[in-house]
A and B are shown apart, each in its own frame.
Chain A
Amino acid sequence: MTDIIVIGAGVTGCAIARELARYDWKVTVLERASDVCEGTSKANSGIAHAGFDAVPGTLKAKLNVEGNGMMDALSAELDFPFKRNGSLVLCFDEGDRHKLQKLLEQGLKNGVKELRIIEKEELKSLEPNVSEDAVAALYAPTGGIVCPFLLTIALAENAAVNGVEFRLNTEVQKIEKISGGYRVTTGQGVLESRVVINAAGVYADRFHNMVSENKLRIIPRKGEYCLMDKKVGNWVTRTIFQLPTKYGKGVLVTPTVHGNLLVGPTAEDIDDYEGVNTTREGMEDLVKRASLSVEELPARQVITSFAGLRAHPVTEQEDFVIGQAEDAPGFFDAAGIESPGLTCAPALGKYLTAQVLEYLPAGARKDFNATRKGIPNMALADEEERQRLIRENPLYADVVCRCELVTEGEIMDAIHRPLGATTLDGIKRRTRAGMGRCQAGFCSPRTVEILARELDKDMAEIGKNDKGSEFLTGRMKEN
């Protein structure tokens, strides 16, 4: 019997796993996809929220402010991109000022620092492209942007090098209470564990309900996004939110930490737990609503669109469901982790680990290594660093992805590091190869070739992500 099983290798599961790795437990993470960061964690706003949104006193509020505060140190420790670019909530109507005021007070109560309301003049000087219709804004300098992929991957890699076992392509089918723990049946065999931690995103209700009579319900809430070319990445420098208006809940316009412009999300409750398709209506809606925030939204600069599902819990209080299930000792939920789940993840990992420690005491591991070095980034490196990398390995001079300037050296790193990439999407999220304006048109055949070569597979076995997503259907002259 193992000590702890974590279900789900999204940002929440990986953040928990990394905290668990600090203690003398045997930990296994089960993930049904072929890589970490394959669900909600890969398709969200990439925002480290300041923390003024959540209702004071909720876990959301507490973990948001804590998680936001941890980002600088964590980014240095785990080497992922994070930037405190600040955020603004726009108010378009003098009659709505009380709503700004309420957000301000809420934020202050939650412990958000430096929060203040600014008037139009200051707003326009901070963000010249912000809509002329904005009359005032709530300014949160502590708001930030983070790469959701690299945050998740960094947490997972660091957990893995500290002894956490990751089992990918392993879907949990059944969980049963047994003496002293749980029996977890997967598509790849049966495991037994003293503790189970449920970080299964939109599927968390399913697993919770297998062991608890206090039923949980999660609704997948779809959010569609448009990503724009780096040419217009500086349209705004801060993350621009809207106060809810008669047009509904506003969308955000933000630079990404990699320098693109991101617009989204829509919000639509759906039945399909895999319904990550974009829609014409959704995309048109986004452009319309984002155009309220900024002047002349460069909608023609879209390079890709995507959709993600927030795990929206149906609860009395709008809050995360975190902690031990009342009627299932040793079964811990990290469920209903919708926005600001990405921001909360580091704090949530610590919070939940403290609870697990009470249930299953363990000593701290002396050999825990908290630091992780990321893949070198030729695109961002300065001249000196580039020269040093090329001297170290000439493959850093061999460009594979021309749009994002990703080299064969970086792709090799992505494949050969702990929890290395095995798919095209895995390469993309670790190195950005294929994320640029040509959207992998030029580099994908070469990336597929490198993957096949390094993994000792045939090109036909290489896929975009999970099984069934292979690119090639055969050789020529076969039919």
Chain B
Amino acid sequence: MKKDLVIIGGGPAGLAAAAAAKENGVDDLVIIERDARLGGILNQCIHNGFGLHTFQEELTGPEYAERYIKKVLELEIPCKLNTMVIDLTQMSESKKNAGSSKANDAAGSKLITVMNRQEGLYTIEAKAVILAMGCRERSRGALNIPGYRPAGIYSAGTAQRYVNMEGRMPGREIVILGSGDIGLIMARRMTLEGANVKLVAELMPYSGGLKRNIVQCLDDFGIPLKLNHTVVDIKGKERVEAVVVAQVDENSRPISGTEEEITCDTLLLSCGLIPENELSGNLGVDMNPATNGPRVNESLETDKEGVFACGNVLHVHDLVDYVSEEAAQAGKCAAAYLQGRLAGAKGEIPIRAVNGVRYTVPVCIDPHRMGETQVVRFRVGSVYKDAAIEVSFNGKVVSSRKKRALAPGEMEQIILKKSELEQFQGLREITFSVRQS
């Protein structure tokens, strides 16, 4: 099978990317989704708060997804559900058409091996690919939490699926480690379902989630949040019987003598999300260790020509609205690429993330290829009060935006204008940094 564009993942990123690609003239495209339905993780996020930026209304996760699913169906974009991509490779040299190197030739083709119950195992040859595989939760093992390995330890998202999709309770007496957004949402959700959420413990001196979630999910229900605390032991041989929580020092090491045993039957983990880039790895895409996602340019294109990335596989977002926005750009750029309108790079200007800025997406920008404006998204590495985000060209500060509060849990963005970049003579480097007052 041959396709102009294959979108891997039918969650919010894949849906928005596909719609934008189609609207920009790509007709020969397909979405590959491993689940039985489109919408990705939004389907289990039945709380509201989605879509404030995009639609100026508060939608639930499934409602937000529905808007994009409807669009995709109206645009008659084919979707393969229950279909797993098991490999992604560059078409080998021998199979390339001799002497051609343009985007529209097989030279740049990617081979996507997929598998499903109806059609079996086969390969799709695609001129362009959009990576939209989302992310996964960090597991107990990766967190190195010592103790027994009984039932009752779930990532917050797994518990969310049991409650919201299966209508089942994964536990009654709950301790949550990590104050990521899913953990905060689940603290409220479990409470509403009659469970007793005893504590949210957070290793860092600040929460990893959105401020609004702390207020609405913990404060409103009187659930304590203990910063600088972690779980140092899990007790119970068959089922969790208790966890031991301790305070940590500035190096995140537990402080002896501060241990407190908390009786519970369940430990939920909300300790960070990891972009699912195993397929990107198969293709040899250059990765950014700061995001665990691909390094992309202003067109959201990876170092592999014709391979774009968006959404949580690129970097973990705080709000789905930004995922959709970013994905639409990826879809548009993929269309431009397929139509030969994405001119080859003439001079990419690197963007350096320094002084408290952990990363930026994109990591470089080509003023010739960029649109009139370019959104640069980033996160900071710790909590700042009354600070400023500075953008510098060749070391010279060109803009400084004051921020009352900056926190790692919130994604930030700054819009660069093409005119500014073009007017600056001899631009070699753009720098994003935090300036503390």
A interface, CB within 8 angstroms of B:
227, 231, 274, 276-280, 282-283, 302-306, 383, 386-387, 390-391, 394-395, 397-399, 402-403, 405, 437-442, 444-445, 449, 459-460, 463-479
Contact = CB atoms under 8 A, between A and B. Distances in A.
Interface in B102-126: 115-121
Contact of A305 (B141, B158, B166): B141
Contacts of B118: 394
A386 B121 contact: yes
B435 to A, nearest CB: 31
Contacts of A397: 115-117, 119-121
B86 interface: yes
Interface in B203-235: 232-235
B53 interface: no
Nearest to B234: A277
B139 A303 contact: yes
Chain B interface category by residue count: 35 or more
Contact of B151 (A304, A391, A449, A470): A470
Interface string B114-158: 011111110000000000000011011110101111111011011
4 A-B pairs with least C-beta separation: A304-B141, A468-B238, A439-B139, A399-B84
Nearest to A43: B149
A438 B137 contact: yes
Interface stretch (B168-176, B325-333, B414-422): B168-176
Contacts of B193: 476-477
Contacts of A391: 120
Contacts of B265: 473
B161 interface: yes
Contacts of B99: none
27 contacts: A274-B237, A277-B234, A278-B146, A282-B146, A283-B146, A302-B144, A303-B141, A304-B139, A304-B140, A305-B141, A390-B115, A390-B121, A394-B118, A398-B117, A399-B86, A437-B139, A438-B137, A438-B139, A440-B158, A441-B157, A445-B158, A445-B165, A463-B151, A464-B238, A466-B238, A472-B169, A476-B163
Given A305-B144, A476-B167, 12 more contacts: A302-B141, A304-B139, A390-B115, A394-B118, A397-B120, A402-B34, A437-B136, A442-B136, A463-B151, A469-B239, A471-B151, A476-B193
A461 B232 CA distance: 30
A441 B169 contact: no
A469 B237 CA distance: 8
Contact of B86 (A274, A277, A303, A405): A405
Given A473-B171, A478-B194, A280 B232 contact: yes
Interface in B183-200: 193-194
Contacts of B137: 438, 441
Contacts of A395: 117
B157 A399 contact: no
Contact of B194 (A276, A303, A386, A477): A477
A299 B268 CA distance: 24
B117 A394 contact: yes
B382 interface: no
A479 B193 CA distance: 8
B176 to A, nearest CB: 15
B306 interface: no
A475 B167 contact: yes
Nearest to B143: A302
A473 B120 contact: no
A158 B253 CA distance: 49
A479 B161 CA distance: 19
